[in-house]
Structure 1
Amino acid sequence: MSPIDRISADLEALTAIRRDFHAHPELGFEEVRTSGIVADKLASWGIEVHREVGRTGVVGILKGRGTSTRRIGLRADMDALPIEEATNLPYRSTVPGKMHACGHDGHTTMLLGAAKYLAETRDFDGTAVFIFQPAEEGLGGARAMLADGLFARFPCDEVYGLHNNPSGRTGELSVRPGPAMAAADFFDIRIIGRGAHGAQPNRGIDPVVVQAALVQALQTIVSRNADPLQSAVLSITQVHAGAAYNVIPEEAHLAGTIRTFDDDIRALVARRMREIAAGVAATFGAEITVEIRDIFSVLRNSEEQTRAAAEIATELFGAAKVDTTPEPKMGSEDFADMLHAVPGAYAWLGGKAGANLHNAAFDFDDAIIPLGAAYLARLVERRSAAAAG
């Protein structure tokens, strides 16, 4: 029996777990209920459990039947997003302002499905390391686990991750070697002017006007400073200033994100942002501070592990459903930091077409749970055997 068939027999129970997670979303580093359920499930299947790794993370350890010392890591993220759900699903979020809009509830469930299957069959050599990570959505959950000694305490020779993709190509797995997802920086820019009456702008330094000029100037970094053959995105996503109709405010605030694949371009964008801010500040007589924070590294898949992932997906889903040349994604993923420590591969698994990720109407496709779980489980079976051989 294939792992897909065996895990499909548990689909009803796994779907119930996924929908329970969906109904009770928890933001990054708040995943107390979620991680508790994960730990209890792993323990009930005879898997060694380690709680509170990186605050709310969980690690499960399962030894196979062989004597190999090879250890294969599998990782899933658990956190939700601060989004008010806009569906009428019977299992919709019960927590105001929070929902699983990126499918982490499904990722957690797929890894639980793989863990249960491997615990029941033990048809692998070496050791499986199940990594349930908190706080992927920009809060540094991977870095927290690494700082807590993740790979020192639970060494892995390879590590793999998987993300759902509501593309309409159900069961298609895409994975590419090298840079696959962008680095991300978040930035905050504070403009300090001089407040005044709205009818007397000559008595103030208007931070709103400074803000408008700065927004326009910053867009020239990608269009005029960055090499046009190198990808870069600079998006201003927050603009805040003032609270009254007739008051020129004292301060204004801009915030947003930078996405790049190249360290030199990343440094260029940061440098030019500060230079442009200083120039605009001098032009208007204002004060501008720029804070840029490294949130995500470039996600780089290793060549060998990417080939292995594609081969296993081909075995399970067929060659027609494996894409090894997808375009790199400008989105970011903190699994990148784990891949900086251990070689591995991060893949995307297609599901039914629907609302996009991070959308209030998003709903995970439960039909792909056995597919993702089987892929993760087969990675352990094949990679531990190949390494041992």
Structure 2
Amino acid sequence: MHFGEVIQWRHDLHRIPELGLQEHRTSDYLAGVLDGLGLRVTRHVGGTGIVATLRNGDGPAVGLRADMDGLPLTERGDRDYRSQHDGVMHACGHDGHMAMLLGAAAVLVEERGFDGTVEMILQPAEEHGLGAKAMLADGLLRRFPVRAMFGIHNMPGHPLGHLATRAGGLMAGEDNFEIRVVGRGGHAARPQMVVDPIVIAAEIVLALQTVVARNVDPAAPAVVSCTEITTDGARNAIPGEVVIRGDTRSFSGEVRAVIEANIRRLAEGISAAHGGRAVVRYTHEFEPTINDAQAVAAALNAARITVPPEHVDGDTPPWTASEDFGAFLREVPGCFMLLGNGADSTPLHSPDYDFDDGALEVGVRYYVNLVRGVLPGPSAS
């Protein structure tokens, strides 16, 4: 195939970004390309999701996954393929991820060289951690069973076309918390008559900095961040309630449980000590991305065939950002790979970001080599 076609697919998809579970035009485009390549296309898996099946022999099945959704950002720049949807853009490179999967499908259809089935999984709603759960709830792995699943995410800050991953925890799980501090509001001139939830909340915010520092093993990465504080007060009134919202990151269920328990303990204890009370809501948003060692070995073998071995990092440091791919890895072994988008490239989630087309061929060739390594044909057995 000509890789100019992969670039064109990427640019077309970049023009039509859509938010999570609203990827209708994107889904139509992807289904049209995949159907044109001759794959069996199943639509509306978990909403706007797609599974395209390529069967070549009686061997086992593997899954390749790409995410579909954009971000609620207004794109800057004058590139000729800029977003046509005001206020939405592909600022995380999902257009590139989809184009690489389409390119891998095109090469595998044309060249084959494997024995088994490849399930091309196009997942909606990655950005808010909803799409993988929706596809799983819709029977993804029952309807399209695979023995392993693989995915790629581009990585600004890594050299263009370099590949990096690690066994074990690659990306963190994300939880959110909301602490509603209930006091007794009143006139700012009569503080002796109130239970001031602002004072309580301030003490809680400071105390939460000890959750990781004094409760989590220093060898276990974890983050607790308070990101928003709101009140129901006014300039001359002490409020009756304060809401603290925040975000936590961790790589294991044990650390997650320690963080949650200590947030509850501190918020409730400090509030009670001041005569108020705290209501804590703690939610699990993203599962950690925990790579399977055997799948990582297969991925690294494919990576070293695709690019020079010195461009492959098999023990890259963990990253505390989160990825919806982690929900799949709770159900089936797999490996998530990072693909360099340029050492000096614009960060993800920036209105100036753009996926570097120079990484597309590496991603396509990596996927093809991976499939042929995991599902070797008769001549390779």
Matched, 1:40 2:1: no
Where does residue 117 of structure 2 map in the other structure? 127
Where does residue 17 of structure 2 map in the other structure? 25
Rounded to whole Å, the distance in 1 between the matches of 2:326 and 2:218 is: 25
Where do 1:1-389 residues align within 5 Å? 6=1, 9-11=2-4, 13-64=5-56, 67-242=57-232, 244-352=234-342, 353-385=344-376, 389=381
Contact 2:233 2:240 (8 Å CA) reproduced: no
Give, in angstroms, the shift of residue 247 of structure 1.
Answer: 3.0
CA spacing shift, 1:159–1:193, aligned 2, 3 Å = same
Moved more, 311-320 or 200-209: 200-209
Alignment partner of 2:97: what SS? helix
Identity %: 42
Give, in angstroms, the shift of residue 116 of structure 1.
Answer: 1.6
Contact 2:161 2:358 (8 Å CA) reproduced: no
Which stretches of structure 1, 4 residues or more, deviate above 4 A after TM superposition? Answer: none
| Amino acid paired to 1:50 | T
Give, in angstroms, the shift of residue 158 of structure 1.
Answer: 1.5
Rounded to whole Å, the distance in 2 between the matches of 1:243 and 1:82 is: 30
Give, in angstroms, the shift of residue 73 of structure 1.
Answer: 0.8
Can you list the C-alpha shifts for 1:243-284, whole angstroms capped at 9, x where unaligned? 642233332222221111232221111101001011121122
Give, in angstroms, the shift of residue 184 of structure 1.
Answer: 1.6
Rounded to whole Å, the distance in 1 between the matches of 2:186 and 2:85 is: 42
Aligned alpha-carbon RMSD (Å): 1.9
For structure 2, the residue ranges without an aligned partner over 5 or more in a row are none
Give, in angstroms, the shift of residue 242 of structure 1.
Answer: 4.2
Count of residues paired in the alignment: 379
| Amino acid paired to 1:70 | P
| Amino acid paired to 2:166 | R
Alignment partner of 1:341: what SS? coil
TM norm structure 2: 0.94
Can you list the C-alpha shifts for 1:299-333, whole angstroms capped at 9, x where unaligned? 22112211111111111101111101111111121
Rounded to whole Å, the distance in 2 between the matches of 1:22 and 1:76 is: 14
| Amino acid paired to 1:218 | L
Give, in angstroms, the shift of residue 203 of structure 1.
Answer: 3.4
Contact 1:28 1:139 (8 Å CA) reproduced: no
Can you list the C-alpha shifts for 1:214-253, whole angstroms capped at 9, x where unaligned? 1111111111122222221101122222464223333222
Alignment partner of 2:178: what SS? strand
| Amino acid paired to 2:115 | D
Rounded to whole Å, the distance in 1 between the matches of 2:238 and 2:369 is: 62
Rounded to whole Å, the distance in 2 between the matches of 1:308 and 1:342 is: 15
For structure 1, the residue ranges without an aligned partner over 5 or more in a row are 1-5
Rounded to whole Å, the distance in 2 between the matches of 1:84 and 1:288 is: 38
Moved more, 205-214 or 70-79: 205-214
TM norm structure 1: 0.92
